[in-house]
Amino acid sequence: MSATENKRSVIVGLFVLVGIIILVAGILVLGGQQNRFSKTVTVTTVFPDVSGLKAGNNVWFSGVKIGTIKDIRFRSLKEIEIAMVIEESSRQYIRKDAVAKIGSESFIGNKLIVIEGGSGDVPPVEDGDVLRAATGGGLDAMMATLQTNNENLVEVTKNFGELSARLVRGEGTVGALLSDSTLALHMKQLVSNLNRTTANTAKAAEALTQLTAKLNQEGTLINDLLTDTITYAHLQSAVAQLQGVTQTASALMTNLNETAGKLDEKDNAVGVLLNDPAAADDIRQTLENLKESTKKLDENMEALQHNFLFRGFFRKRDREAAKAAAEQ
């Protein structure tokens, strides 16, 4: 065998070896990912509906991946048995009274099984154990948040009702104040915000209802989302609205609570107006003074106009105003 032939054989050997190493490494990593080569135990759970969960999906415990789903099969009508492979190393933390739920990795991510709970005094799961199934997951949790939100809104409305009642009872003084003060503006904004928030919440809730209906219908979530852009658009706006609603509502709550609280105290303007007639008189006096000052300022301005130094300026201004009026 000649020297070049030897060199070629070595190169080909190297080429093939590295290629096969890539393949074998890939297979081993894949095996590591799928727990094929580590010690595992198999536990099962039964759900009435698996919402598109597939064999190969992950199993999480406290947000840590501890295994994968091996098999999904019908056991009877409305009973679907899910077999999960769980790493031996994590087994000791999963107790026999832990609960399995169907969740998803992210809002549009893969479905997965989330194992929750379990108490320290109960022994760890063993091969063949059946975990209790709990319904509810990411979307259900979101609906629950929405529900809390609604409750908050009811609370806000109730507070506001009380407040308006008190305002009514505060009669003339507050009435006058409301008609021309910043507080009135603030109140008005509050009310309109509240209206908008309620409307938004309703819209968001509707979009979510649609989405959930769709999600419950068929296939996996991502599949629907990739093919159905309308649903996706709804979903996106629903999420945005929900976020907005939650923020606005909580801001409103704080504002209203503060306002309501402050109305009861004496060391603020409205509180004073509501609770202390003497102070109210003072404020009225101040306002009177302010009005007087404004009037005086007007007179000063008038005087200025006639001063020869400023005459040119005012004339020019008048001309321009006249011209503008003519153009219109």
Partner 1 sequence: MPLLAQLPMMKKIQRTLIELANIHRFVMRFFREVFMPPYEIKEIIRQCYVVGWKSLPLISLTGFITGVVFTNQSRPSLAEFGATSWLPALISIAIIRALAPLVTALIASGKVGSQIGAELGSMKVTEQIDAMEVSGTNPFKFLVVSRVLATTISIPILSFYTAAVGLFGAFLSVNQHEDTSFRVYFDQVFEAVTYLDVFSLVLKAVVFGFTIGIVGCYQGYHSSKGTEGVGRAANWAVVMSMFLVFIEEILIVQIIQAMRA
- Residues forming contacts to partner 1 in the complex (CB under 8 A) are 1, 5, 8-9, 11-12, 15-16, 18-20, 22-23, 26-27, 29-30, 32-34, 56, 108, 225-226, 232, 236
Residue 42 C-beta: closest distance to partner 1, Å: 19
Residue 37 C-beta: closest distance to partner 1, Å: 12
Rounded to an integer, what distance in angstroms lies between the CA atom of residue 298 and that of residue 225?
66
Rounded to an integer, what distance in angstroms lies between the CA atom of residue 293 and that of residue 174?
24
Residue 108 C-beta: closest distance to partner 1, Å: 6
Decide whether 19 or 219 has the Cβ nearer to partner 1: 19
Give Cα 322 distance to the centre of its chain: 55
Decide whether 33 or 92 has the Cβ nearer to partner 1: 33
Decide whether 32 or 123 has the Cβ nearer to partner 1: 32
Of 196, 214, 208, the residue nearest 242 (C-alpha): 208
Contacts of residue 95, defined as CB under 8 A and 6 or more positions apart, other chains included, come to 117, 118, 119, 120, 122, 123, 124, 125
Question: For the range 223-231, what are the long-range contacts, defined as Cβ-Cβ under 8 Å and sequence gap of 24 or more?
Answer: 225/108
Decide whether 56 or 161 has the Cβ nearer to partner 1: 56
Residue 109 C-beta: closest distance to partner 1, Å: 8
Tokens 């402050």 identify what position?
Answer: 262
Of 91, 100, 102, 94, the residue nearest 118 (C-alpha): 94
Decide whether 27 or 185 has the Cβ nearer to partner 1: 27
Decide whether 108 or 287 has the Cβ nearer to partner 1: 108
Residue 94 C-beta: closest distance to partner 1, Å: 21
Rounded to an integer, what distance in angstroms lies between the CA atom of residue 220 and that of residue 218?
7
Residue 175 C-beta: closest distance to partner 1, Å: 50
Rounded to an integer, what distance in angstroms lies between the CA atom of residue 300 and that of residue 200?
51
Residue 297 C-beta: closest distance to partner 1, Å: 56
Tokens 């010690």 identify what position?
Answer: 39
Decide whether 106 or 294 has the Cβ nearer to partner 1: 106
Residue ranges with strand state E in the chain: 40-47, 58-61, 64-76, 79-87, 99-104, 111-116, 130-134
